[in-house]
Structure 1
Amino acid sequence: MIQLKKIYCLTSVFNDWDSFTILCDRIEGISKQLVDYDFEIIAINDGSTDFN
């Protein structure tokens, strides 16, 4: 079994969850091209007041 290399994308989010969704979509598009890598997105809620 081939072990995939890991890429962690860590970002903070402060009252801009729409932009975070766009970022996740773009990272997902890139991750589909890099099949030898396993991507993980980690978001830190940096005190947002508009979190749903």
Structure 2
Amino acid sequence: MPATPAAHTLPPGLAQAPERLPSDFKGLDDQVRQVKAELSQQPEEGDNARRLER
């Protein structure tokens, strides 16, 4: 018996999703680091700036 029956095959884009996840997470981590760096260089702007840094 096959692991995935032919009637339950996934669309190609969905089947490849687990392969793309590590690079997608790395890209998101890079974006978070960039935003944090930008925020740390901005002067304090009260509660709004502090809330975004969390």
**TM-score, normalised by the number of residues in structure 2:** 0.40
Higher helix share: 2
Higher strand share: 1
- When Rg is computed on C-alpha atoms for both structures, the one with the higher figure is 2
Q: Determine which structure has greater relative contact order: mean sequence separation of CA pairs < 8 Å that are 6+ residues apart, divided by chain length.
A: 1
**TM-score, normalised by the number of residues in structure 1:** 0.41
